[in-house]
Each structure stands twice: as C-alpha cells, then as structure tokens.
Amino acid sequence: MLAGLIAVGCTPRTTTGSGNEATQAQNPSIPEYPPLYNVDVEVCGNIIAPLEDGKRCVSTQLRLWGPVGEAKLVQTGVSLPSVSAVQHKVAIASKGCYPAYPQPSQEQFYWADTIIQVNRGGEPPTIEMTQTQLSNQHVHELVTGTLSDSTVPTFGGVGCEPAPAN
C-alpha cells in the first residue's frame, strides 16, 4: 500500500485550466507575448478595383499588435473636378504592425499599406475586418525568426505609420 501511495504522489498531474498552464510547463523558456493578430481587411463598394462576383473589392492582410479596434477609410488625396476618383487609405486602431513594430507601440490608428481610389458620388465603401489571435507559441516563432511561414504579411512602401485620428 505504501508503494501505491508513493506511485500516486509521483505521477504528473493534469490541469483543467485554459491550457496555457500546461503549455507554459512544457515550454518554460517561452516568454509570454502581448496579443498579436492576423487581420484580413476588405474594402468593397464604389471603388476602382476589378469586378469579381458582382463586387469591387480590395483586400489586404496585416499582422497587428492588439487590441485591434476600428478600421476607417481616410481621404489622403486631393479631390479634383477633372478626376472621378479620390485617393483614400485604410487606418486601423491597434498598437502597431508586425514586423515594422517588433513589439507593441502606442495604441492609435496606423496606416495599412493599401491605397484605394474611391469614386465620387454614390454610397461610401464598406470595410470588413476579420481578426484571428495568434497563439503565444506562434508569436514566439515569429519574433525569434524560427517560423518558416512564406505567407507572412509584410509592409512595404507607406504602411504602418501613425495615422491621423480624425
């Protein structure tokens, strides 16, 4: 009987928590990272874009430090009478874009690397966002460069700079 008690006392115990405790116990060298999200943004409507399935849409994928808030379309070009469309950009409330910001920054609006030509007149375009939080393990692999993901969204050009709040 004594051998049975010793055997029970030495067996590993399982947790019924959220699962993070077990993951942390298995990978004690992985620090806890702030939330990072894969964000798909789609702007559709009265814009200059190819017609697909009866809609004109522009899509972009981003990796944003959370929390991720509102997305808005901001006019960045000059409205000229001789031109039928005006340049706009998407601004998203977050703590910055990865990898341009290797860690979260100030929570504010940041530009997505997308320029959209909005036709004058008619209904304003709609913005739809889908966000998926990455696991702490995935964030660790991204930050340490051990992830071999060839489809990682990156920023080139004019993306991920702070955007005006208005």
Query: How many residues appear in the chain?
Result: 166
Query: How much of the chain, in percent, has pLDDT values that exceed 90?
Result: 53
At 10-43, the pLDDT tens digits run: 444 434 444 444 444 455 688 999 999 999 999 9
- Do residues 34 and 104 touch, judged by C-beta distance below 8 A? yes
Quick one: DSSP state of residue 97? B
Q: What are phi and psi of 163, to 5 degrees?
A: -110, 155
pLDDT of residue 154: 45
**Band of pLDDT at residue 4, cut at 50, 70 and 90:** very low
For the chain, the domains span 34-166
Does residue 3 carry a pLDDT above 50? no
DSSP-assigned beta bridge partners for residue 89:
74, 115
**Band of pLDDT at residue 89, cut at 50, 70 and 90:** very high
- Do residues 97 and 104 touch, judged by C-beta distance below 8 A? no
Quick one: DSSP state of residue 73? E
